Structure 1
C-alpha cells in the first residue's frame, strides 16, 4: 500500500474546554497542533486539516483546510468524509486521520494501521488500546479510511448516522492494537485538567 494522505481532525466544538480550538492551546512552547503535524506529516504523503469557520487561524502551517460538508457538527465521521472528498481530488486511495488534540500518538501509527489492513479489499482500520477494566477501547478519530467508501459514508451521515463504530463494523472494519502505554498514546486534551497533565507529560519526556 502506498503512503496514504493524512487528515487532522479539528472540527469539534471543544465544549469541555469552554470552546475554541484545542489544537491551538500551548504545549511545550507551541500549539498542540504543531506536535500533531510533526508526528503525522512524516508518516503520510501529504496533510490537510479538517476544521470549520475561518481557515485563516491555521495559516501559519500552510495546510489545506477542508470544512465539513454535513451541516450541524455531525461528529468525527463528518470530518472523515471531508478528508475523503479532499483525498479523492488528489487521486488518493485512502487517508489516515488523527485528532488535533492528541499530541503523543505513535510515530509509526500509519504503518501499523496499514499492516492491520493487510489483505482487506477495502482498507478500513481503527486504532485501539487495551484497558484492564473496559477491555478494548477503540479510538475512532485515529483510523485508516478508504476513498472508495466516501459516497456510502455520505449517505449514512445524511441518514442520521453519527456513531463511528456502527459504520466501520458494517463495512468489515478491523482494529490495530497499540499496547504502547502507559501513558496512553491516544491521551487527548478535553479539559483544563487534561492540558495540565499533557504539559507534565511533555516536561517528563524532555
Structure 2
C-alpha cells in the first residue's frame, strides 16, 4: 500500500435526525466520542485524515488533519460529503468511513486497498450486505460525481453502478460494521462492548 497516494475521509456531516438532531460524531460512546473511534482504523494508514462536518467545526478540528464542509449546503446526504472529500484531496485514492461505526477493523484500509484490484471503487461487504459508506474510491471520479449531483442523483448505489466497482469480503467480522442510527442502537452496542470487555 502506497500511503502517499491515499487519504481518508470520515463522513460526519449529517443532521442526526434519528438521534434527536444531535451531532452523531461527537456523541460519547464507550468512554470516547464516536469520531475518535472512527479515526482509529485510518490513523497511520492514510497520508491525510479529512473529516466532513457541517457544524461544530472547531470540535472536529481536534481529530483530523483538516475539516471540510459540504461544498453545497442543505444537508444533501453522503454523496455530497464524498464529493466534497474527493475535491479536497490531491491524492489518487480516498478511503471513506462513517462517523457512527465505532468497531471497524484495524486492517480495514489494507483490505480495501488490496481488494479493489483494478476497480475504481471497492465497497466493504460483511457477507450479508454491502456497506456503501465504507469504501475506497478513485479521486479522478470527482468530476463525474459532480455531474451526477447536478443531475439530482443522491443515491450512492446508483452512482457506484456508473463505474467499475467491486465488493471486498469482510465476512469474517460482520459485527464490525454495526452503526448507531438511534439511541437504542447506541445502548445495544455499548452493552455488547461492555459484555466483551476483559
Per the normalisation by structure 1, the TM-score is: 0.88
Aligned to 1:127: 124
> Alpha-carbon deviations, 1:56-75, whole Å to 9, x = none?
12233253110111332221
2:89 match: secondary structure: helix
Aligned to 1:71: 73
Deviations, residues 120-147 of structure 1 (Å, cap 9, x unaligned)? 3xx311111222xxxxx12111110111
* Aligned counterpart, 1:152: 144
Residue aligning to 1:134? none
More displaced 10-residue stretch of structure 1: 196-205 or 79-88:
196-205
Deviation at 1:116, TM superposition (A): 1.7
Partner of 1:190: 181
Q: Deviations over 1:60-106 (max 9, x none)?
A: 32531101113322211111111111113xxx101100110110011
Work out the CA distance in 2 between the residues paired with 1:175 and 1:169.
12
- 2:101 corresponds in structure 1 to 102
- State the alpha-carbon separation in 2 of the partners of residues 59 and 9 from structure 1: 14
Unaligned runs of 5+ in 2: none
CA-atom RMSD, angstroms?
1.5
Q: Could you tell me which runs of 5 or more consecutive residues in structure 1 were left unpaired when the two chains were aligned.
A: 132-136
Q: Which one of the candidate residues 20, 23, 26 is aligned to 2:25?
A: 23
Mapping 1:2-21, distance limit 5 Å = 2-3=2-3, 4-21=6-23
Q: Distance in 2 between matches of 1:43 and 1:197?
A: 30
Q: How does 1:79-118 map to 2 (within 5 A)?
A: 79-88=81-90, 92-118=91-117
Deviations 1:158-178 (A, max 9, x none): 110011111111102111121
Alignment match, 1:180? 172
Between the two proteins, the alignment pairs up a number of residues equal to 195
